[in-house]
């Protein structure tokens, strides 16, 4: 029988399933995500295209009150991300990658010109 991996978390997790939003870079549009479990020290989340999210970002917990936490990714296992909450001075929020050619969409199709 396979052995269970050793759990090295410092805080107990609380299972949850609530919406949250990821913010990074210059974009004013937060990326929706789901908070699956949370502890005092971090959380497990899912988001569309999580494989291209930066290693540091701001997690918005409540859009109305603007409650947020600075986060650092500690593991990635599609579709989940394990994040730890960090002090704002430790967070290095990375700007979103920009397309090399502004006339092209992300799928190689010419974007409409305005």
What kind of fold does domain 14-86 have according to CATH?
Answer: Thrombin, subunit H (2.40.10)
Query: In the prediction, which pLDDT does 10 show?
Result: 60
Query: Where exactly are the structural domains of the chain?
Result: 14-86
Instruction: Evaluate if pTM is beyond 0.75.
Output: no
User: What rounded mean pLDDT belongs to the chain?
Assistant: 78
Torsions phi, psi of 25, nearest 5? 70, -155
Name the nearest CA neighbour of 45 among 73, 9, 8, 65.
73
* The token pair that represents 14 in the structure block: 């609380």
All residues at 6 or more sequence positions from 54 whose CB lies less than 8 Å from its CB, including other chains? 24, 25, 73, 93, 94, 96
At residue 110, does pLDDT exceed 90? Answer: no
How many Cβ atoms from other residues are within 10 Å of residue 86's Cβ?
A: 16
Could you tell me what percent of the chain has a pLDDT over 70? 69
The answer to whether the beta carbons of residues 91 and 60 sit under 8 Å apart is: no
Model pLDDT for residues 31-74, shown as the tens digit of each residue: 999 999 999 999 999 998 888 899 999 999 998 888 999 999 99
């Amino acid at each position: 029988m396979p052995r269970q991996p050793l759990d090295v978390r410092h805080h107990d997790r609380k299972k949850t399933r609530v919406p949250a939003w990821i913010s990074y870079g210059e974009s004013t549009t937060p990326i929706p995500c789901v908070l699956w479990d949370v502890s005092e020290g971090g959380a497990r989340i899912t988001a569309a295209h999580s494989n291209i999210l930066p290693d540091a970002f701001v997690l918005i917990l409540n859009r109305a009150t603007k409650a947020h936490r600075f986060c650092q990714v500690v593991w990635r296992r599609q579709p989940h991300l394990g994040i730890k909450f960090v002090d704002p001075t430790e967070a290095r929020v990375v700007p979103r990658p920009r397309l090399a050619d502004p006339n092209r969409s992300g799928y190689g199709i010419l974007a409409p010109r305005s």
